[in-house]
Amino acid sequence: MVDPIQHQMMGYDRAITMFSPDGRLLQVEYAKKTVKQGSTAIGMVCKDGVLLVADKRIVDKLIIPDAVEKIFQIDDHIAATASGIVSDARILVERSQLVAQQHQVTYDSQIDVLSVVKDISNLKQMTTQSGGLRPFGVSLLIAGVDDDGPKLFETDPTGIFFQYKASVIGEGESEIESILHKKYNENMSIDDGLKLIVTSLKKVLGNDFSAERIEGVYITKKDKLFTKIEKEKISKLLK
């Protein structure tokens, strides 16, 4: 027989607009748990640009690795990666691509990274207070280079965003975050940052780790161009 109090508490996770007695939106908390179960994604600000690396977590040998996309280009100077429900991320990224294009056409200039982050975060927040919707089950790392230098932001399912020097989302978050706290340095180059990220992923993922699973992108302060990291470069770091 279900305890009456327990039965009453269970009802608070049935609707996104209903707070529990202790002030929690349970559907949003469930979305954040979905993110923690997602594949790992890491972002890092370096002295010469910004870097994103994501684990594609390919578990089926029949899947073509290059067909799996975990890092997205929003504009020439902005990239994003995600952990959680990647289809949710794709919708947010496509919206951001449109916003960036509209800004370019309207103002004849590239959109700044913070404007993209705020637009995504506003939509995420709106889904936490509207009946009939569910929260986006995804966190995003958004990286880019503005006129005043490289920037990295993280947004979570609640619509909160923060700017970071280095950040990690997904499985292994606590372990890799601990490594970044100890070894990250603001004077690192993109190559140094890539080496730190790859060695951190190898330590956390163990025998499952391979270059085929990894996707990486960097944007330099000099060129401000979305550039993919070659698999050969990642393979060399694994030796």
Which is more confident, 98 or 66? 98
Total structural domains within the chain: 1
CB atoms within 10 A of CB 107: 9
pLDDT reported for residue 53: 97
The C-alpha atoms of residue 173 and residue 37 are separated, in whole angstroms, by: 10
Q: What is the mean pLDDT of the chain?
A: 92
Question: pLDDT of 41-77, one tens digit each?
Answer: 999 999 999 999 999 988 788 988 888 999 999 999 9
* pLDDT over 50 (residue 2): no
Q: Which CATH number fits the domain that encloses residue 221?
A: 3.60.20.10
* pLDDT over 90 (residue 221): yes
**Mean pLDDT, rounded, for 108-125:** 97
Question: pLDDT of 182-210, one tens digit each?
Answer: 999 999 999 999 999 999 999 988 877 88
Distance of CA 4 to the CA centre of its chain: 40
* pLDDT over 60 (residue 3): no
Domain residue limits at 44: 4-238
* pLDDT over 60 (residue 91): yes
pLDDT reported for residue 7: 43
The C-alpha atoms of residue 59 and residue 62 are separated, in whole angstroms, by: 9
